[in-house]
Chains A and B, each alone.
Chain A
Amino acid sequence: MRDPGSLALATVLLPAAAFLLLALVVPLRRAGRPAAYLSSLFAAGALACAVRAWSISARGGFSLWTWPWIPMEAGPLTTIGVLADADSTLMLVLVAGVSFLVQVYSLGYLSDEPPASLGRYYTYQSLFAFSMMGLVLAPNFVQLFVCWELVGLCSYLLIGYWYQRPEAARAAVKAFWTTKAGDVGLLIGIVLLYRQAGTFDFLDLLVMVDSGTLPLAGLGVITFCIYLGAVGKSAQFPLHVWLPDAMEGPTPVSALIHAATMVTAGVYLLVRTAWLFDQTPEVLEIVGWVGAFTALLAAVLACAQSDIKRVLAYSTVSQLGFMMAAIGAGFASAGFLHLLTHGVFKALLFLAAGAVIHAVGTNDIFAMGGLGRAMPQTFIVFLIGTLSLAGIPFFGGFFSKEEIFAGVWVGGLSIPFTMLAIAAFLTAFYMFRVVFIAFAGTRGNGHGSGGHAHDGPLTMTVPLWILAALSMAVGIGFAVKHPEAEFVAPGWITPLAIALALGGIALAWLTYQRRAIDADRLSGAFAPIRDAAENRFYLDDAFLLIYRWAFLRFSRIVGWVDRYVVDGVLNVVSAWTLDAGDRLRRIQSGQPQDYVYGVALGVLLLLVWFHWLV
């Protein structure tokens, strides 16, 4: 098979088949581990197909396979199928790869789960892989939206995997509603775009944009609405509040959905439709500002967390802000590059954090300590992920982050650039804060729980090493062979990026390792910010307040209108009907002679009418 389209199609259909098998064959699902093996096997097959498809389309292969969908009088409304090009197949490799590694890792991480739950978990995982790949390969907005909602559903199901825990159930509902708020915007945008352009198809739209036949009036509203969908899904300010709560799900789920793939769907959407957003520079500027602000806000929030997963969650929000800022500056390719590298090293970080949590049994970094000696393998891979995230040369995230800096600077967004610079400094700081507190330091800082900790089973360590190797390979690969940038960056960008990262590391080292700087005094210096950050900048409270005071009040008013106005009118009408019926009932006397009277009288009246009145 030389056609990337058929390979991409096989990649999508393999997890779909696994999902259908697990969903329909109940005994297989309830068996637990066999279901896990089957799902992982299919995921491996999908990964192989994805890599093959990418290797073809990276050399310029391009393929579009579609089938008509929703027949109408004037031809089908839209199509479903796969659009395999260099970008989508590269993303496909990321999704399939992380998905496969996470499924293998989950075998070890969730080894204590009852078989039925484990089967359910792998069913969701397969459904997610299918939906995400469908989203990545979507040739038009309709399929993209359908898959967009499907991944949202999977996110909901997997956050609420331990649905017996009230926090998990709450977090699942919160994630669902918050992203749904953005999805409404996306749906409106798609419908408006259809009204403007008359097509959902990416290629048709691209042709229209290139030939200048797409009317530009009102396009800003459309792209902004589409961007709203990305705000919800990719956790941009102010809809980022769901992502930290989503950490209630199992850690492999956080790695796959809430770090590497699903949350980047918004970024991917903007990358995919960059030519459309280029038509509306004013919206792009909003994207850039909001992205940079999100990056800074989340970085500040991450410094105040003591839950290792929440630190990573906020850092994901922050990195998504970086990608959005690059897109806003007009360099979508830089954002896409960071999406890919981030997908690898953030999955690595989450899985390593999962290994720690699995071993220690707590999320609190202050209850850890000295884990570096107890879990040497986990420590090394976590360190690789941290260095990648901080942006140290020869590690995964360095080049893509520097690209973003350069892009934002060249794009002329100088204030967002400053925000990103501070965010990058804080990124290095909060990540090494975790490293120094949890892995270095004295053993058993807290409850002595670190004492029995050890590296996980092979199913957990092997995916970690693979991801770590990939991070390193990406970093070294970019260092050896720079891809040609589409812009000329000023020479001081690289030293600045390295200096920011090293500065953050140095501050964390001085504070938490050497204790040359007292942590309490350091945070005391930023007391107002610290207090606000500990309360998540009151955003969750604000949303709760809006929910209580606006939504609940509004629904109470709507409820009153429904109960007393709508129902009232119906009740009055029905009461009148009953009353009239009761009155009319009395003319039915049951006496045949009365009826004969009636008939005779009627005949008489008809006679009179016909004879004299007509």
Chain B
Amino acid sequence: MGLQAYLTLAAALFAIGLFGVVTRRNTIGILLGIELMLNAVNINLVAFARFNADPAGFIFTVFTISITVAEVALGLALVILIFRVRRTAMADHLDILRG
């Protein structure tokens, strides 16, 4: 299998993630969408590293995954806090920044 296939998979995954972020009403769903997009990036990095024989991509991926973990933990904590305060986690109810 060539590089093209990996990149196609990553692009598809990214598009699905973006679609999820944009359309999900639930904040948890939006977070899941973001995870998908990040992983699409990881696939890209790994694929390029493999085909260019450059280990930098692998190292980057390890960093990305660990940072993603932290991001998810923080994101979930925020969602829970918002739910406690506002009694809802629906994104379209959370519009206090409306101009």
Name A's B-contacting residues (CB within 8 A). 585-593, 596-597, 600
Binary interface encoding of chain B residues 61-99 relative to chain A, with 1 for a CB under 8 A from any of its CBs, else 0 = 000000000000000000000000000000110111111
- Asked if B99 and A591 make an inter-chain contact with CB atoms under 8 angstroms apart, the answer reads no
6 inter-chain pairs at a CB distance below 8 angstroms, sorted by A residue, are A585-B99, A589-B95, A590-B96, A590-B97, A597-B22, A600-B18
Can you name the residue of chain A whose Cβ is closest to the Cβ of B19?
Answer: A600
Q: Which of B8-38 touch A at CB < 8 Å?
A: 18, 21-23, 30
Docked CA distance A587–B30 (Å):
21
- Are B18 and A592 neighbours in the complex by a CB distance under 8 Å? no
Q: Which residues of B contact A592 (CB under 8 A)?
A: 30, 91, 94
Q: Which of B96, B98, B99: most chain A CB closer than 10 A?
A: B99
Q: Is the pair A590, B98 in contact by a Cβ cutoff of 8 Å?
A: yes
Residues of B within 8 A of A600 (CB): 18, 22
Question: In the complex, A140 Cα to B31 Cα: how many Å?
Answer: 82
Whether A591 pairs with B21 at a CB distance below 8 angstroms is no
B97 closest partner in A (C-beta): A590
With A and B bound together, what is the CA distance between A591 and B21 in angstroms?
12
B99 touches A586 (CB 8 A): yes
| B98–A588 touching, CB < 8 Å | yes
Task: List 6 extra interface pairs beyond A589-B95, A600-B22, CB under 8 A.
Answer: A588-B99, A592-B94, A593-B21, A593-B91, A596-B21, A600-B18
CB contacts (< 8 Å) of B95 on chain A: these are: 589-591
Q: Is the CB of B98 within 8 A of A589?
A: yes
Q: Provide the bound-state CA to CA distance between A280 and B53, in Å.
A: 98
Query: Which 3 pairs from chain A and chain B are nearest by CB?
Result: A588-B99, A590-B98, A590-B95
**B18 contacts across to A, CB distance below 8 A:** 596, 600
User: When chains A and B are docked, how far (Å) is the Cα of A589 from the Cα of B98?
Assistant: 5
A597 to B30, CA, bound (A): 13
Is A593 a contact of B99 with CB atoms below 8 Å? no
Given A592-B91, A593-B30, A587 and B99 touching (CB < 8 A)? yes
Q: How distant is the Cα of A600 from the Cα of B91 in the complex, in angstroms? A: 18
Q: Using Cβ atoms and an 8 Å threshold, which residues of chain A touch B96?
A: 590
Chain A residues closer than 8 Å to B22, beta-carbon distance: 593, 596-597, 600
Chain A residue with Cβ nearest B27: A592
A429–chain B nearest beta-carbon distance, Å: 87
Question: How far is B30's CA from A590's CA once the two chains are assembled, in angstroms?
Answer: 16
Task: For residue A585, give the distance in angstroms from its CB to the closest CB of chain B.
Answer: 4
Contact A590 B99 (CB under 8 A): yes
Nearest CB on B from A592, distance (A) = 6
In the assembled complex, which residues on chain A have CB atoms less than 8 Å from the CB atom of B23?
A: 593
**A335 CB to nearest B CB, Å:** 78
Closest-CB distance, B15 to chain A (whole angstroms): 10
**B91 cross-chain contacts in A, Cβ below 8 A:** 591-593
Q: How many angstroms between the C-alpha atoms of A590 and B18 in the bound complex? A: 19
Of the candidates A586, A588, A593, the one whose C-beta lies within 8 Å of that of B97 is: A588
Q: Which residues on A sit within 8 Å (CB–CB) of B99? A: 585-590
Complex contacts, A597 vs chain B, CB 8 Å: 22
A256 → B minimal CB distance (Å) = 71
- Report Cα–Cα, A593/B92, bound state, in Å: 8
Give B25 Cβ to nearest chain A Cβ, in Å: 9
Q: Return A65 CB to nearest CB of chain B, in Å.
A: 70
In angstroms, Cα B95 to Cα A548, docked, is 63
Residues of chain B within 8 A of A593, CB atoms compared: 21-23, 30, 91-92
Find chain B residues with CB under 8 A from A588 CB: 97-99
Residues of the B chain whose Cβ atoms lie less than 8 Å from the Cβ of A587: 99
Bound CA span A98–B30, Å: 94
Report how far A390 CA is from B92 CA in the complex, Å.
Answer: 102
Residues of A within 8 A of B30 (CB): 592-593
Closest CB-CB distance, A578 to chain B, in whole Å?
Answer: 14
CA distance A592 to B23 in the complex (A): 11
Give the residues in chain A near B98, CB-CB below 8 Å.
588-591
CA distance in complex: A215, B6 (Å): 91
Q: Which residues of A contact B21 (CB under 8 A)?
A: 593, 596
A589–B23 alpha-carbon span in the complex (Å): 16
Q: Which residue of B lies closest to A586 (CB)?
A: B99
Closest A residue to B25 using CB positions: A593
The CA of A94 and the CA of B31, in the complex, are separated in Å by 95
A588 to B99, CA, bound (A): 5
Tell me the bound Cα distance from A592 to B95 in angstroms: 8
Report the minimum CB–CB distance from B90 to chain A (whole Å): 11
Q: How far is the CA of A593 from the CA of B99 in the complex (A)?
A: 15
Contacts of A585 in B (CB 8 A): 99
Q: In the complex, A591 Cα to B30 Cα: how many Å?
A: 12
Give Cα A589 to B91, complex, Å.
12
Closest to B99 in A: A588
How far is A596 from B99 in the complex, measured between Cα atoms in Å? 17
Residue of B nearest to A584 (CB): B99
Docked Cα-Cα span, A586 to B98, in Å, equals: 8
Report how far A590 CA is from B98 CA in the complex, Å: 4
- How far, in Å, is B96 (CB) from chain A's closest CB? 6
Closest Cβ of chain B to A419, distance in Å, is 81
Report the minimal beta-carbon distance from B43 to chain A, rounded to whole angstroms. 19
How far, in angstroms, from A585 to B30 measured CA to CA in the complex? Answer: 25
Inter-chain CA distance A585–B98, complex, in Å, is 8
Determine the chain B residues whose CB is within 8 A of the CB of A589 once the complex forms: 95, 98-99
Given the complex, which residues of B lie within 8 Å of A591, measured CB to CB? 91-92, 95, 98
Residue of A nearest to B98 (CB): A590
Indicate the member of A586, A589, A592, A596 with the most B CB atoms within 10 Å.
A592
Please report the C-alpha to C-alpha distance between residue A593 and residue B97 in the assembled complex, in whole angstroms: 13
Contacts of A586 in B (CB 8 A): 99
Question: CA–CA, A588 to B96, complex, Å?
Answer: 11
Tell me the bound Cα distance from A591 to B92 in angstroms.
6
Alpha-carbon gap, A296 to B97, bound state (A): 83
Complex Cα gap A367–B23 (Å): 104
Smallest CB-CB separation from B23: which chain A residue?
A: A593
A590 contacts across to B, CB distance below 8 A: 94-99
A591 to B99, CA, bound (A): 11
A596 to B30, CA, bound (A): 11
| Smallest beta-carbon distance A122→chain B, Å | 66
Q: CA–CA, A593 to B22, complex, Å?
A: 5
Of chain A, the residue at the smallest CB distance from B95 is A590
Give the distance to chain B from A42, nearest Cβ to Cβ, in Å. 70
Q: How far is the CB of B89 from chain A (nearest CB, A)?
A: 13
Which residues of chain B in 43-62 are interfacial with respect to chain A, using CB atoms and an 8 Å cutoff?
Answer: none
Please name all residues of chain A whose beta carbon is closer than 8 Å to the beta carbon of B94 when the two chains form the complex: 590, 592
Docked Cα-Cα span, A592 to B18, in Å, equals 13
